[in-house]
Amino acid sequence: MEQMVILTGGRVVDPSVGVDEIRDIGICNGRIVPPETIPDAKREDMSGKVIAPGFIDVHVHLREPGQTHKEDIATGTAAAAAGGFTTVVAMPNTVPAMDTAERVMEFMELVAKKANVRVLPAGAITMGRQGEIATNIRELVQAGCPVVSDDGSTPQRHGLMRSIMQAAAEAGVPVVDHCEDVSLSKPGVLHDGEVAKKLGLPGQPRSAEEVIVARDLILAKETGCHIHLQHLSSAGSIEMIRRAKHDGVKVTAEATPHHLFLTDEACLKFGTNAKMAPPLREECDRQALIEALKDGTIDMIATDHAPHTEEEKSQGWEKAPFGIVGLESAVPLCLTHLYHAGLLDLNRLVALFTTGPARLLDSFCSKIGQSLGNLAVGSTGGVTVLDLETVHAIDSRSFKSKSRNCPYDGMRCKGQVVGIY
């Protein structure tokens, strides 16, 4: 049965073609169509709302299989839909890890039964994500992986990472990397600065991230691999990426709302709900990230949605896991602290959630006849609808996610997600 709707009277913002105007959008069977081709469709009034391409989050932990006490495919994708995301990329740090084609296909069978939005799987780059034996990247891509990653860790042996990048380049798929040299980061639990000293806790220096960023950029230049650098936290990393892009290295990068809007001072207020990997750093780093959003050094915003139970997060700084939930708070926070704060215009902010992440996935999506991140006729990426003006408070008790590990509870925001199509 055909599903047809026309969204009328909304402000359409599509950075892929520079559109920002009042117009109608037609949707039929999951594709954008000219409204005049579906004259009998249901009409929904979007006056006063923003209609954007479906938002994409390239960094999400759905925790299934193996950790469904934290999250599962149904609850994680319900949280994504509530947060305005029509497509998410699921990280491979499941139990077992998504390190073979068979495991990827088993995961996608679960997705077909449970998911509320489009889910694309990231395949692991080493077996068991142990950083020792490379996976068969070509088989993972054939099984449906648009990217490969050991998210949460990275191979520490540079020769292994080089061979992984060579294989990924041959397979035409980006390597997505969590930049952390564990010989520098361990046993740190937050940024190596004054807050760590005040709390009497071991810190992680910026160099733990920057050493791997430097390595990855060198190897990407040498191998021709597209390297995508996750959840950047350091001003030094940003400067290296800026130079590498100028030199023609095939690199993209993401920032998270927590690194954009919080510093390590949040650890004093929120405790382990501000324990992140990489850690929240200092104001100079936060400002560098924002400048990188403005000048294009950072290509996209991703949530790194990392659900944990209250019991796990209550174990204290040394034992509590890293990470926070982010799918349902990211867009209101960005509208408030980037758009309404006058740091980014709406076109650029929408691009960070649409055209930026879509470019990371374009090669794969074009092979399977999918078009994400735009509202062109034929696009299958969906639609995200925004209300720019409503003032509200983030309420973690209303989250669709199973987990509540969020430092933003009660924070006042201006702007929210109305829904997705």
| pLDDT at 326 > cutoff 60 | yes
pTM of the model: 0.97
pLDDT at position 421 over 90: yes
Q: What CATH number does the domain containing 277 carry? A: 3.20.20.140
- DSSP 3-state assignment of 229? strand
pLDDT (average), residues 168-194: 98
Binning the chain into helix, strand and coil, the percentages to the nearest 5 are 35, 20, 40
**% of residues, the chain, pLDDT over 90:** 97
Please say if the pLDDT value at position 1 is more than 60.
no
Q: Which is nearest to 268 in space by CA: 278, 256, 280, 260? A: 280
Count of domains forming the chain = 1
42 belongs to a structural domain: no
Token readout for 356 is: 């930026």
Give the H/E segment covering residue 75: helix 73-82
- Is the model's pLDDT at 360 over the cut of 60? yes
Distance between CA atoms of residues 294 and 348, nearest Å: 8
Residue 403 falls inside a structural domain: no
The closest of 107, 113, 109, 120 to 74, measured between CA atoms, is 113
The H-assigned helical ranges of 117-206 are 137-142, 158-171, 182-185, 194-199
Copy the structure tokens of residue 115: 């998911």
124: DSSP letter: P
Q: How many other C-beta atoms lie within 10 A of the C-beta of residue 66?
A: 12
Q: Which two tokens stand for residue 334?
A: 């960005």
169 φ/ψ angles, rounded to the nearest 5 degrees = -60, -40
Domain contains 407: no
Average pLDDT over residues 317-323: 97
3-state secondary structure of 24: strand
**Phi-psi bin for 388: left (phi > 0), alpha (psi -120 to 50), beta?**
alpha
How far apart, in whole angstroms, are the C-alpha atoms of residue 357 and residue 372?
Answer: 9
* Average pLDDT over every residue of 61-79: 98
pLDDT at 297 over 90: yes
Q: Is the pLDDT of residue 365 over 90?
A: no
198-239 pLDDT, tens digit each? 999 999 999 999 999 999 999 999 999 999 999 999 999 999
Quote the mean pLDDT of the chain. 97
Residue 188 lies in a domain: yes
Q: What pLDDT band is residue 366 in, cutting at 50, 70 and 90?
A: confident
Show which residues are catalytic.
304
Specify if 198 maps to a domain: yes
Q: Kindly provide the b/e burial profile for residues 82-91, where b requires at least 16 CB atoms within 10 angstroms of the residue's own CB.
A: bbbbbbbbbb
CA atoms 243, 279, 223, 176: torsion sign: negative
DSSP run (H or E) holding 406 = none
Residues 6+ apart with CB under 8 A from 215: 158, 161
Structural domain contains residue 4: no
Name the DSSP letter for residue 339: I
7 lies in some domain: no
Contact present, 410 and 350 (Cβ < 8 Å): no
Residue 218, domain extent: 54-370
Tokens read off for 95 = 């139990």
Provide mean pLDDT across the span 127-156.
97
By CB atoms closer than 10 A (0-12, 13-18, 19+), residue 56 is buried
Given this model, what pLDDT does residue 97 score? 98
Q: Do the domain assignments include residue 22?
A: no
- Angle 296-81-83 (CA atoms, 0-180°, nearest 5)? 55
Residue % of the chain over a pLDDT of 70: 100
